Chains A and B, each alone.
Chain A
């Protein structure tokens, strides 16, 4: 066991943090590419991928790519510094790590929590070198009810033969590897017959098809698996224990990623919104001159402050409560929707003819109408808001379990 994903928990003094903040600011001024938003707007996928790869390496050289990893793997940054890092990156409008997201969060937390030494050595350094990951969990008939998944993995000697279909695998079209859940014991009760695999996306028998979404983007993908051979060495954790391993991965999606997203929302998106409100509209008046706008902004700022505190606490806590990650995800996703909804209103009719979102930006890119539409996605993946509320009720509040159905 190499420890958690939170990096070091040691408290940094305010003076240390101040110096670190100055360091990050200097770095951002020198390294955030000028005009990247324009250069990433309306470009083909390949340019997005090459830009993301280059930016990841830029961050890596500075020690900013995986600050939340344990020190021996290249991270080890105290949580307070991580918060400062994410604040400054957002405030300097740095691009986000979109392509590497699953690799540095979900794949890494899975490997650190349940992977073998060989798996960690094979993949954690490779992720730093640019290995891209996707997550193959959901299936057409297994969304909220993930344990109902039917993709099968049949053991044949030293390999598993995988057949089935995965969906909503964000970024799978560019992925080198995939976190895969498949059923290894069809006879066992739902959650007990599932195993967790690392799937090399170059294996024969894999077909990836992008799905176009309402924002005009196509980051969701379907993955079709036809007699795909996965070496037994790529099993993570014991056979048929994949459900427990997956809880780790989902926990990462709900928990560890939240610190960055919350700081990004507060220091990137919200500041952008406040700036927009300070500019005269087409009629000459500034939205800020309207007390109702001020009132909404103050309410959003209050909620953001709460969210940031919640996320920082979640990440710093060695033993977070069983529903803490769900609370953070629920608050973030619904706040993101409220904030982008309000921003789309402030932006007014003009926002409807400025509808291209720069790739590599955050969920609050400033193309507010698209951001608002995109924000609706957030209450669905990694456990819908209903699933989060069920977890909060059952595991957080200790209420009786919901009837599980047949």
Chain B
């Protein structure tokens, strides 16, 4: 078995990244936050041109890899648009996207978009999700409260993809945070030399890269698990989410610390990537909730993994 996404998918991701850069790049996130109603108009034409809406990730393995690569590029450029959610749309319901939700007060980063959403819980209960109008969130302008009208309980097969693709978005954000930090410690001189000359700095960056690399490997594995229609795809998706969230904590902590105060300011791309990562990291499940769900699902049987057949 080969869990590595194809070269074509990676190339598609690179093209997408260039297109997002040309469409505004780092200016997109501040614009989306300032006017969530405009963010669709900012990026949807580019996504259409990239053929995003023709991708059939649930039906076609190549399209699934392309979708993952696209999400990763969207994360890299901090697109502040629910691309993963749209690409995970369920079959046959005629809606524009899928939101995995948890708990009685569901929220999702879909404010300001005129789209129809299907919500699904981890145990596969689906519903029609409508953005609650009225009170607007005042800080994270892209997160909205949802009203969910129950539909059916046929969504168990929808969930894994709905969890895996946002992790690819997050992976792209981690790629970017590390790239930005690497550039910063090379360029920033203190004590007469680049910060990167300091072993304490290098060790931190190395640890963060190890975390990111682990999340990347699991992202490929979980994608392959979804692609292969494995029964444990949801376990793998939750395991990926857990690893990606832990990696995100480590990577952003290091990125912020090494950027210094500049990393918190609006003129710094890191500030925006970090800010855009928040809804992905906390919705629908934060770290503890992810760990809790995974532990309950796995019980004592553990993850299946790649080499279980050989082991038994």
Distance between Cα atoms of A356 and B275 in the complex (Å): 15
Contacts of A42 in B (CB 8 A): 138
Query: Given the interface contacts A145-B191, A348-B286, does A379 sit within 8 Å of B107 by beta carbon?
Result: no
- Asked if B266 contacts A213 (CB within 8 A), the reply is yes
Interface segment among A16-24, A113-121, A384-392: the answer is A384-392
**Neighbour of A380 across the interface among B135, B138, B145, B260, CB < 8 A:** B260
* Residue A78 lies at the interface, judged by CB distance under 8 Å to chain B: no
Instruction: Write 6 A-B pairs (CB below 8 A) sorted by A numbering.
Output: A213-B265, A216-B139, A282-B103, A353-B107, A353-B144, A355-B139
| Chain A 344-382 near chain B by CB (<8 Å), digits 1 or 0 | 110011111101100000000000011001001101110
Residue in contact with A353 in the complex, picked from B143, B264, B275, B286, CB distance below 8 Å: B143
Whether the pair A167, B288 counts as a contact (CB closer than 8 A) is no
Asked if B14 is at the interface of the complex by the 8 Å CB criterion, the answer is no
Contacts of B138 in A (CB 8 A): 42, 355-356
Question: Which residues of chain B are within 8 angstroms of A213 by Cβ–Cβ distance?
Answer: 264-266, 271
- Contact assessment for B106 and A349 in the assembled complex, using a CB-CB cutoff below 8 Å: yes
Q: Evaluate contact between B145 and A353: CB separation under 8 angstroms.
A: yes
The yes or no answer to B197 lying at the interface (CB within 8 A) is yes
Choose one: A211, A373, A379; the contact of B266 (CB below 8 Å).
A211
Q: Is A406 at the interface (CB under 8 A from chain B)?
A: yes
A343 to chain B, nearest CB (A): 11
- In the complex, the answer to whether B140 meets A167 with C-beta atoms within 8 Å is no
Shortest beta-carbon distance from B205 to chain A in Å = 12
Decide if A220 touches B107 in the complex (CB within 8 Å). Answer: no
> Which 10 A-B residue pairs are closest in the complex by CB-CB distance?
A406-B192, A355-B139, A405-B191, A405-B192, A145-B190, A353-B137, A405-B193, A282-B104, A282-B105, A213-B264
Q: Choose among B103, B201, B287 the residue that contacts A349 (Cβ–Cβ < 8 A).
A: B103
With an 8 A cutoff between CB atoms, is A274 at the interface?
no
Tell whether B82 is near chain A: CB-to-CB under 8 Å: no
In angstroms, Cα B260 to Cα A167, docked, is 12
Q: Which residues on B sit within 8 Å (CB–CB) of A215?
A: 264
A212 within 8 A of B: yes
Could you tell me how many residues of chain A have their Cβ less than 8 Å away from some Cβ of chain B?
A: 48
Given contacts A141-B189, A214-B274, contact A283 B257 (CB under 8 A): no
Binding site for B on A (CB under 8 A): 42, 138, 141-145, 148, 167-168, 211-216, 220, 281-283, 292, 337, 341, 344-345, 348-353, 355-356, 369-370, 373, 376-377, 379-381, 384-386, 389, 404-406
A residues less than 8 Å from B260 (CB atoms): 143-144, 380, 384
Instruction: Tell me which of B61-69, B71-79, B151-159, B277-285 binds A.
Output: B277-285
Give A211 to B256 CA distance when docked, in angstroms: 17
B18 within 8 A of A: no
Which residues on the A side are within 8 Å of B287 (C-beta)? 345
When A282-B103, A283-B104, A352-B278 are in contact, do A385 and B140 touch as well, CB less than 8 Å? no
Using a CB-CB cutoff of 8 Å, which residues 175-217 of chain B contact chain A?
A: 189-193, 197-198, 200-201
Chain B, interface SS category? mixed
Q: How long is the Cα–Cα vector from A337 to B252 in the complex, in angstroms?
A: 13
B38 at the interface (CB under 8 A from A): no
CB under 8 Å from chain A, chain B span 282-298: 282-284, 286-289, 292
* Contact of A381 with B278 in the complex, beta carbons under 8 Å: no
Is B261 in the interface zone, CB < 8 Å from A? yes
Question: Which A residues lie within 8 Å of B149 (CB)?
Answer: none
Identify which of A350, A352, A380, A404 contacts B140 (C-beta below 8 A). Answer: A352
Q: A167-B261, A349-B106 are in contact. Are A148 and B284 (CB under 8 A)?
A: no
B90 nearest CB across to chain A (Å): 22
Once the chains bind, are B257 and A379 in contact (CB under 8 Å)? yes
Q: Which A residues lie within 8 Å of B116 (CB)?
A: none
Q: Nearest Cβ distance between residue B278 and chain A, in whole angstroms? A: 7
The listed residue (B140, B189, B266) touching A355 by CB distance below 8 A is: B140
Is A404 touching B191 in the complex (CB atoms < 8 A)?
Answer: yes
Please give the distance in Å from B284's CB to the nearest CB on chain A: 7
Residue pair A356, B139 in contact (C-beta under 8 Å): yes
Given the interface pairs A352-B140, A356-B139, A379-B257, the reply to whether A283 lies near B264 with Cβ below 8 Å is no
Chain B residues whose CB sits within 8 angstroms of the CB of A352 once the complex forms: 107, 137, 140, 143, 278-279, 282-283
Q: Decide yes or no whether B230 CB sits under 8 A from chain A.
A: no
A196 CB, nearest partner CB in chain B, Å? 21
Beta-carbon nearest neighbor of B30 in chain A:
A212
Bound complex: CA A239 to CA B75 (Å): 52
Measured CB to CB, the nearest residue on chain A to B195 is A144
Which residues in chain B, 126-176, are within 8 Å of chain A measured between CB atoms?
Answer: 135, 137-140, 143-145
B241-288 contacts to A, CB under 8 A, are 249, 253, 256-257, 260-261, 264-267, 271, 274-275, 278-279, 282-284, 286-288
